Amino acid sequence: MKQANQEEPHLPFQIRDQHGAARAVAYLMLAASPYNIITGVLMKLGDPLPELIAVTVTAVAFLIIGLICLRRPRVMPRAFWVSLPVLSALAVTGLNYATEDTTVGAQLFYLWPLLFAASFLSRWVIAATVVTISGGHALVAYSFTDTSRAMSDWIALTVAMAMTAFVVTNLRERNDRLREVLEAQATSDSLTGAANRRAFDESLTKAVRLGGTIALVMVDVDHFKTINDTWGHATGDRALCAVADALRSAAPDGTSMVARLGGDEFAVLLRAGPGEALAYAEKARTTLGTTTDLPGGPPQLSIGVAVLPDHAGSAEELQRVADTALYQAKAGGRGRSALAQGRPPRHNVDQVPEPDPFTVA
């Protein structure tokens, strides 16, 4: 679990959207295989046999890689995806050199590794791809054309590829920023900046699936309607922001999620045991008590704490037990915390459950 809106660390050789990358590779390889057979073998049956064999082997390799990327992309190692643009640029260079082809049509095949790198990989890999394309074309151009034309073609291709990479990369990063903004808006509360109900439900389900100890802290602002009625809704909003700030301030970094479930109700997920979770609740209450910019003073909090697996065995049961603990805190006089004790007994439909015992702090 992480605090809402906390970004994942960026890795210099991390591939983004592996599914999309796998599809891009698969479609290219499945198209390149018959293309090479037709243009490199069937249309050149009179060429030397070693050249025809080399092109055939390359086409078969393209077909195999394409099928793997289409059907089982996860079996390919991470190094494959990262090195693919450079290897593809080298393959295009090899084919151009073998066929002594310096035409514009042959050079256009460099676009695929360039666009793949610019769409799915980091700037380091993009730069390496541009350098490989530039060097590869220089080798072919200087080998089969005069120096003046080779230099002109090489400079033109290098500038075109560099500008293409720059434009595509910047468009991709702009789209990434827009997507991050939309994701933040979809998963956070606009008033307090805390996670919203949707993000909370997803994080709780994921945390339970991963296993381990999970503490759920349910928080309710005492007499919030009175705050709104007495001081106005603007002050009520400031009070809610102060509560969210206190809950975040008291939480351990990187191991918690603070969410506003609606109205004056908050929830906090912690990787903590019962004692630590109860201590967190009291720390949050103490932190909120230092607020001095509210006309009616800082609001009081009623807090219910439940821990999985100590008090519950599922996400739904954990929420139910924590809610019951919260109501127990309110019944005990508000402005306090209640910790659930033991897992609730199971009952059949004909039995009435006994009240759960709680410890009130």
Residue 356: helix, strand or coil by DSSP? Answer: coil
Query: pLDDT exceeding 70 applies to what percent of the chain?
Result: 90
User: How far is it, in rounded angstroms, from Cα 40 to Cα 161?
Assistant: 26
Q: Give Dmax over CA atoms of the chain in angstroms.
A: 95
Domain limits, the chain: 18-185, 197-360
Residue 185: helix, strand or coil by DSSP? Answer: helix
pLDDT in tens, 155-180: 999 999 999 999 999 998 898 888 88
Mean pLDDT of 329-356: 68
Between 265 and 360, the more confident residue is 265
pLDDT in tens, 271-325: 999 999 999 999 999 999 998 889 989 999 999 999 999 898 899 999 999 999 9
User: How far is it, in rounded angstroms, from Cα 243 to Cα 299?
Assistant: 8
**Residue 265 in this model has a pLDDT that exceeds 50:** yes
pTM of the model: 0.59
User: How far is it, in rounded angstroms, from Cα 81 to Cα 197?
Assistant: 37
pLDDT in tens, 36-87: 888 888 888 888 888 888 888 988 988 998 899 888 888 888 888 888 899 9
Q: What is the pLDDT at residue 182? A: 83
DSSP 93-147: HHHHHHHT--SHHHHGGGHHHHHHHHHHS-HHHHHHHHHHHHHHHHHHHHHHS-H
Which helix H or strand E contains 335, and what residues bound it?
Answer: none
Active site residue 264: yes
**Residue 4 in this model has a pLDDT that exceeds 60:** no
User: How far is it, in rounded angstroms, from Cα 174 to Cα 336?
Assistant: 47
Please give the order of strands across the beta sheet that includes 256-262: 256-262, 265-270, 214-221, 301-308, 337-340, 358-360
Q: How far apart are the first and last CA of the chain?
A: 26
Mean pLDDT of 196-207: 91
List the single range of 16-20, 78-82, 133-137, 220-224 with lowest mean pLDDT. Answer: 16-20
**Residue 242 in this model has a pLDDT that exceeds 90:** yes
Cβ pair 109, 65 in contact under 8 A: no
User: Band of the pLDDT at 95, cuts 50, 70, 90?
Assistant: confident
Residues 197-360: name the CATH superfamily.
Reverse transcriptase/Diguanylate cyclase domain (3.30.70.270)
Q: What is the pLDDT at residue 343? A: 64
Radius of gyration of the chain (CA): 31
Q: What is the pLDDT at residue 13? A: 56
Q: What is the pLDDT at residue 144? A: 92
Query: What tokens appear for 99 in the block?
Result: 């066929």
Q: What is the pLDDT at residue 332? A: 86
Residue type, 277: A
Looking at every residue in the chain, the average pLDDT score rounds to: 86
**Residue 342 in this model has a pLDDT that exceeds 90:** no
Residue 303: helix, strand or coil by DSSP? Answer: strand
Q: How far is CA 94 from CA 27, 90, 206, in A?
A: 21, 6, 48
User: Band of the pLDDT at 211, cuts 50, 70, 90?
Assistant: confident
Question: Residues 153, 189, 220, 264: which is the catalytic one?
Answer: 264
User: Band of the pLDDT at 12, cuts 50, 70, 90?
Assistant: low
Cis status, amide bond into 48, omega within 30 of 0:
no
**Which residues make Cβ contacts (< 8 Å) with residue 19, sequence separation at least 6?**
73
